Structure formats: structure tokens, C-alpha cells
A and B are shown apart, each in its own frame.
Chain A
Amino acid sequence: MNEVDMRELTIIEAMREALTDEMHRNPDIFVMGEDSRIGGSFLLSLGLLDEFGPQRVLDTPISETGFIGLAIGAAMSGLRPVVDLQYGDFAFCAMEQLAHNACKLRYMSGGQVKVPAVLHFPTGASGRGGTHAQSMERYFSHFPGLKVGVPATPYDAKGLFKAAIRDDNFCIISSHKHLYGSRGRKFLVSEGVSLGVPEDDYVVPFGSAEVKRQGEDVTVVATLIMLHRALDVAQELEAEGISVEVVDPRSLVPLDRKTIMDSVIKTGRLVIVEEDTLTYGWGAEIAATAAQQALGYLDAPVLRVATPDVPMPAAPNLEKSLVPDTERIKAAIYEVLGR
């Protein structure tokens, strides 16, 4: 990558750049959602109405089943819809469309149809209470037939979003409300994370995890905002002589088990950090993979750090008490290291 062409972008700017590029490349791509013409809730489509016109940037009614179902039909007919949801939680309104039409029509028809659509939604807790706080990517990772990308950096956001738009399969892109860097919104980012994004065209393929920080003593697997917290912790523990390797799966489906397990085998210790509630989360999948593929290399039990199994409360202090923070991540690392 040429340093000269790098700019610092926020995740939402990187995604918007990916979407804009792709819309220029392919006239079959259109974007729709609630308030898309003024940018959508996190400003993904800001300015696209002027650039591409009303045929390709559509405001929808509050009607998730309607417009997600419509996107599925349009994709079956060869278009490439990009649907922008206000909040990931609202995907539940369209669950039947997603669980059946988006991910099973291809299979059930014996491979006759494709559904090349992208559903983008913001995920995670942000002080709004139970129906605006869920880590929605988890639910969709359980349906064979969907791909699920969870970019945590601007570079990955642009590359994964482009990969999703070009994919012939239905793809979900989910990032965290506090990572987007949308105007007027809280923006949390680890000091250790570059915001550099090349202007060039590139993709980050689904199923390619990345070691975000090299280390020797313990592997921490984390996504989205937890990745940033894990990187903060790794930086902090360096001063104590603890070398933490941090791995970002980048997509939950497909899951790059190899990169994750290579790291676990190298360090011999595994801590998984999820913002989601603990039980039946993707962390359990990674723990099971470690039990199967890396048991002989483990020097300590695998630990998961996650939100307890309760709905997310609205009060900021209650939310903070539940969502994994750097202290809990640190405590888990100490525990697997026997400190």
C-alpha cells in the first residue's frame, strides 16, 4: 500500500467510500433504507442522493419486512441492493425474510437463484436500552447461507464492505455504533489502531481473520469495540511484561479458524471477548474449536468475557457494569496467566 494515498477516515466514511466506488462501478447497485436520502441514521449514504439520484437512493417506509423482502426479490432478479438499517435490532422485524428467503432460497431451489444483497446495520450497546443495544451479528451467524462481516477499523470496513457488495451471496455488515465516527456521535477507538485507508480499490475477503497485534503469552480474540478494548489492554500490559496477541476474526461467517488457532497454538492461552450476552454466543464456537484443535497446546482453561445474560439496561452506569471493559479483560488475562 502506498503511504501517500492513505487518508485517515472514520469507519462510516470508509464504508461510504466503498459504497460510492461500487455504485460507480456497477449500475445494478442501489441503496435503500429509512431516511437514506439524508444519509441514514449513521450517515452511510450521506450525499449519495446528489451523486446517484433518486432511482438509486431510496427512502423507505418504516417497514423492515417490506423493504428487506423487496431487496431479496430484487437481488434474485440480478440487482445488488444495499439495505441500510437504522439499528440492527430492527432486523428482528424482518426475521422471516432473512431466515428463509435471504439464506435458504438458493439451497431450497437446488442452486437456481442467488441473492446478492447486502444488509448493513449498527450493532451494540450505546445507552439506549434493550431494543437498541443487541449484538445482532450473533443471531445471523447461526443461519447457514448468510455471510457476516464485523469490521472494527476503517481499513477493514472499506475492504469488507466492497467484498460484501461484490459477493454473489447475501452478506451482513455490522459495525458498532461507537466505532462509526458519525457526526455528533460518540467515537471510541484504541490508540493502537490506524485510521488509514488507501484511496485504491481493494477488498478484505470474508473469512480472513487478522492478527491486530503480535504477542507471545496469550491470545485475545475480540470483535468490534471489544477489539479496541483488547488492544488498549495489550498496550497497557506490555509495561508489565505481558505480551498479548490480539486477533480480530473480521467476519463471523465464514470464520477463519486457522488464523485464530495458529495464534492459540503459539501462545497456549485463549481469552475471548464479546460484547454480546454470554450464552450460545460466537465465543463458544471459538472455545469449542480450541478444545477440538488446540487442546494439547493450551496451558490454561479458555476464558470468555461477555455481557451477563440479561437485557441491556438504559442507565449508563448499569450498561457500563455489564458490558466488558478493560478491567474485566485484564482480569481474564491475569487469570489464564495464573497471576
Chain B
Amino acid sequence: MADKTIDKKIMSGMLRKMTLIRRFEQKVNELFLRGYIPGTIHLSLGQEAVPVGVTTALRDDDVILPTHRGHGHALAKGMPAASLFAELFARQDGCCKGKGGSLHIGDVTKGIMPANPVVGSSVPVAAGIAFAFKYRGQERIAACFFGDGAINTGPLHEGLNLAALWKLPVLYICENNQYAISTPIQSVTLVQPLAQRAAAYGLPVQTVDGNDAVAVYRAAFEAVGRVRAGEGPFFLECVTYRQGGHKRDDPGTYRPREEVEHWLSLDPLPRMRERVVEDGVLTEEQVLELERSVEEEIETAVQTALASSPPDPARALEDVYA
């Protein structure tokens, strides 16, 4: 399906970010298995189109709130890969100086608010950030990511209601990968599509193919325009699929094989790659060059991060009080 109405730079930029996230996550998986990363990790393999499509529609001075599965959100909004690797490696040059880890990443200089991985928790916080933008007459917006698992949490409902009530400039993005760990979404709510839950609070909603970066971008672009114009919050549901398990030790075998295979065939990265070539945005050669440059960026970032020291234990007592 040819679509030449989107600027070529935007198309190639999205492909590059998606490739970067894919290679970053694959590298994280590899380095985790080799013992470089303490704790746990939640990979976003297969979900790259959502953060990339959404952040491409944002301005630099807009902010995002990532989830526990947030590496892709952060990279998409511009966090340097080295800074994120260093945080995962628990080094002092990590984005949170080693105090956050994979679950609590953030870089406010890039508009990436520190993540709270407790599902649903960031929904009212995003409303508050947007409240401040509106209070000061700034035309900035907050973009809040959460998964389908958040749909039954109290904070989500309280936050959506307040955001709608006070017409706050927030784009809520439900990254619906259809499972909360092993629990399929249809076994925890009778209401489908999930966007209906937000519609009940008076938010305009849209459900899109979350494995189609262009579709996500188009929907987000339109939604962002409405939110920025002062219409209040918007709820964008992106239906996608987690290619792996929930976290490091989860093979994800509770999902039917045919279902996994079906969604692997809808992998957002090859779809975007093909489209970029078919639409004549980049030649095959140029895509290969893009992939090589991503590979190089990842390798350099890993080396930079590994060169950073673990944080000084004396620093553990700092940053408790402002």
C-alpha cells in the first residue's frame, strides 16, 4: 500500500528509530543472558511501532511517561542508547545514576519523565504534568503510555476522569499487547475494544493497528493536534503483540503457537522496512546503510556504557530529599 504523503525524512526517521529499538532490545537480551544486567528486564520486541509512531508526532518540548516496558519509549523520545545501557548495567553514567534501573528510566532533558512501573500509576501523574502546561498557558502536551493490563486499575479511571473533566492536554496511549503476563485481555474485561472504557469518561478515542508505524503516526498526529488545540485528552489504543515473554525468565509458552506465528508475520519492523523501500523513501542500499549505522551506534553505546564505573556507594544516600 503506497503512501507518499508523509515526508520522507519522517518515514526514514521512523524506520531508523524502530531498527534502533529492535537492535537495542536484542542486545539487552544477549547481555542479560551473559550476566551484564542485574535485576529484571521487560523487552518491547514487536511493539516498536507504538512508541516510534507516537513520539514522531510529538514536539521536543512535549513529555512522555514510559511504562515498565519502557526502553523503546525512552529511545524513541531521544534518550541516548549509551545512557540507557549504562542504567541497565547499573553504572554511574546511567540516565538515573544507577538508582532507577530498567523499571524507572527517565531523562527530563529529553522530556522523558521518570517511569513508575506500577501499572496504571502514571495516568493521573500525566494529567498533573498536563495541568501544569495548561496552567502556564504552554502549548505542550504529555503523552502517557500504559499497557492493556492498566485498563482495570483504579488510577487509570481516576486519572482519565480528571483529565477529561479539566480538559487537560494529555495523549493517553494504550499499548494493547493483549496479555498481562499470561492473562489474555478478554479474560479480564468484557468491554472491547478497550478504548470504550475511556470513551465512558468523555474522551475521544481511536483504535489502530499498533504494528503499523505509519498508522500509529497518522493517528497520533491527528490526536496530538486536537490535544494541543485545547480539546482535552485523547485516548489512542494501539493493538500490538509482545514477541517474547513478559520478562527475562518467561518463554511466553502460554500463548497458542498459531497466534504467536500469526503476530510474528505482522512484525512491525519488516513491514516498515518494506514500505520505506516500496514507497521509494530509501533504496535497499540506503536501508542497509541505515542498519549498519544502527549496529555501529549500538556497539559504541555498549562500549561507552561498559566503560562507566558502578556508582559510588556513598551516593546511595543522596537525592532522597529535594
Contacts and interface: CB of A to CB of B under 8 A. Distances in A.
Interface string B150-176: 000011001101100110000000000
Nearest to B121: A96
A108 interface: yes
A61 B114 CA distance: 27
Contacts of B188: none
A193 interface: no
B100 A110 contact: yes
A29 to B, nearest CB: 11
B116 A105 contact: yes
Interface in B77-131: 94-100, 104, 106-108, 113-114, 116, 118, 121, 123-131
B258 interface: no
Nearest to B104: A108
A65 B155 contact: yes
Nearest to B125: A73
A188 interface: no
A30 interface: yes
A79 B125 contact: no
B124 A97 contact: yes
A77 B128 contact: yes
Contacts of B133: 77
Nearest to B96: A110
Contacts of A76: 113, 125, 128-129, 132
B112 to A, nearest CB: 10
B104 A73 contact: no
Nearest to A69: B124
Interface string A100-128: 11000111111111111000000000000
B314 interface: no
Interface residues of B, number: 42
Contacts of B132: 73-74, 76-79
A312 B126 CA distance: 37
A contact patch SS? mixed
Contact of B162 (A70, A79, A96, A169): A70
Interface in A127-150: 144-145, 147
A282 interface: no
Contacts of B121: 69, 96-97, 100-101
B190 interface: no
B113 to A, nearest CB: 7
B319 interface: yes
Given A55-B135, A74-B129, A145-B320, A109 B106 contact: yes
A75 B124 CA distance: 12
Contacts of A145: 320-321
Contacts of B124: 65-70, 72-73, 97
Contacts of A71: 128
Contact of B97 (A30, A65, A70, A110): A110
Most buried by A among B94, B95, B97, B133: B97
A130 B166 CA distance: 34
Interface in A77-92: 77-79, 81
Given A70-B128, A73-B129, A100-B121, A108 B114 contact: yes
Given A61-B161, A73-B132, A108 B99 contact: yes
B320 A108 contact: no
Nearest to B113: A76
A168 interface: yes
B2 interface: no
Contacts of B1: none
B318 interface: yes
Interface of A: 30, 55, 58, 60-61, 63, 65-79, 81, 96-97, 100-101, 105-116, 144-145, 147, 167-169
